[in-house]
Each structure stands twice: as C-alpha cells, then as structure tokens.
Amino acid sequence: MDLQEQLKNLFPDHQISNEPEAVAENEHELYVQSEPMICKFEKRKGKPTTIIAGYEGADEDFKILAKEIKSKLAVGGTFKDGEIIIQGDYRDRIMKMLQEKGFKTKRVGG
C-alpha cells in the first residue's frame, strides 16, 4: 500500500488539488534606532577583529544582521553577548552597509 492509498483511507472526503500553495514571503524589517551603533577595531589573540555593538532591538534581529554582514563580506564571525564579532578589519565597509540600511554608526578606535 503506497502513501496515496493510505491518505485516501485516512481522509476519504479529501479532494486532491494540483494548484501550488501560495507562500507569503515578507521581508523581515529591522528595528532602526536613533542612537548610533558602535563599530570598533580590536586585536584578539593577535588577529584583527571588527566589533559592532550598541543595537537596541531584539537579539534575533541583530543575529539576522550579523548573518547578512558575514555573507556579504564573505568572512567568518559570530554573534556573542550582544555584539557582532567579524574576523578582519572591515569597519569602513560594515559602516557603509549599516548606513545604507538607515542605521547611524560611530567609529571607535584607530
């Protein structure tokens, strides 16, 4: 007995539809704050890192932003303790990306 027959036995009144289901794709809106986000450069264990901090919205939004930054720059990084940590010195490029999204940024250090 195949799956179609089992489904007919379980749901005898069901009519099979060949129409594809409509999937609503809504783009997630990030909370844009009035305070500037801090973009700083540090060396951790001798390696350059860019740290973005100061986001006031939900952690999930900040994680989405971190994933987008990492994929656009093709670099590694993480979201930890309310900060996005990116491997390498990408302050200028990250600040430009954030400003295009409507965020205010502040450069700290160097």
pLDDT of residue 28: 60
- Rounded average pLDDT over 75-103: 90
Q: Is the pLDDT of residue 107 over 80?
A: yes
pLDDT of residue 96: 92
Q: Which of 52, 32, 57 is nearest to 42 (CA)?
A: 52
3 phi, psi to nearest 5 deg? -65, -40
Token pair recorded at residue 35: 């305070």
Q: Are strands 105-108 and 37-44 parallel, antiparallel or unpaired?
A: parallel
pLDDT of residue 61: 85
Beta bridge partners of residue 41, listed in sequence order: 50
Q: Is the pLDDT of residue 1 over 80?
A: no
As a whole number of angstroms, the distance between CA 72 and CA 29 comes to 18
- Rounded average pLDDT over 68-88: 91
As a whole number, the mean pLDDT across the chain is 85
Q: Model confidence over 39-74: pLDDT tens digits?
A: 999 998 999 999 999 888 888 888 888 999 999 999
As a whole number of angstroms, the distance between CA 108 and CA 66 comes to 19
Q: Model confidence over 10-37: pLDDT tens digits?
A: 888 877 777 777 766 655 666 677 788 8
